Amino acid sequence: MNLLKNIYTKSGLVLLLLPLAFFGCTENSQKKEKKEQHESQINVLTESEKQQGWELLFDGKTFRGWRGIGSNEVPETWSIRDGIIQKASIKDIPGHAVQRGDLMTTDTFRNFDLSFEWKISKEGNSGIKYNVSQEMSAKGGSHSALGFEYQILDDKGYPEKLHPSQYSASLYDMIPAKNVQLKPVGEYNTSRILLNGTHGEHWLNGEKVIEYELGTSYFDSLFQRSKYAKHPDFPKKRAGHIVLQDHSDKVWFRNIKIRRLKNK
């Protein structure tokens, strides 16, 4: 009797666990299918996006439309793999004997809505720059762009103590981002930069984290206290380049697209 009871109990337990196991497998399959579906849409515009005027800045295969600052070539630290732009870590380059430099769009944009996805390595630091003047950047032979910067960082793991305006989604060294909700290191974040007329915004994972107006006394005071104060033309609005920063750490970018806007 006890033997039959044990068998029944174990059988019942197995039967009880089977639906749970099936549910778990189904849930995992759905997550995998959703991920694969999203990845198949990377670096592709929908019909709706095309009608709204969006353009791809990265085709997922080539560096067409990109080059280095003050150069016609793509710096050697940048590569493309599986539809993703990758920037190598200096630690992974033997002897560091490669051509480095920021990666810049050949085209310029004055009023725009920029959308992109990014992920950063552990303890990593990078950024995406806009309103960039190549002439101002290239003075002194530098291959690093000078422009407004949307900061990209491993906020929790970065080993140094930084100013509030030097963490993710901030207007670097000027305006700290608020209500920042970052994905864990290794996962992609979705970001957006809007610059239309004198109005600017930074977005992160669907939330607006910064808003500012160029030409105001407040913005000018931020500029005067920043590291850019020695460049008097820095805060001027222009038709500028979009730039991916070559910092020392590994970073990935994908799904980079832009919509040109008519000035308000």
Whole-number Å distance between alpha carbons of 263 and 255: 25
Q: What is the pLDDT along the chain (264 residues), one digit of tens a residue?
A: 554 445 445 555 444 444 555 556 666 665 555 554 455 689 999 999 999 999 999 999 999 999 998 889 999 999 999 999 999 988 777 655 567 899 999 999 999 999 999 999 999 999 999 999 988 887 755 678 999 999 999 999 999 999 999 999 999 999 999 999 999 999 999 999 999 999 999 999 999 999 999 999 999 999 999 999 999 999 999 999 999 999 989 999 999 999 999 876
Whole-number Å distance between alpha carbons of 250 and 8: 56
> Tokens 């959703």 identify what position?
34
Whole-number Å distance between alpha carbons of 184 and 162: 19
CB contact at 8 A, 100 and 77: yes
Which H or E run contains 216? none
Provide the 3-class DSSP secondary structure of residue 121. Answer: coil
> Tokens 């390595």 identify what position?
121
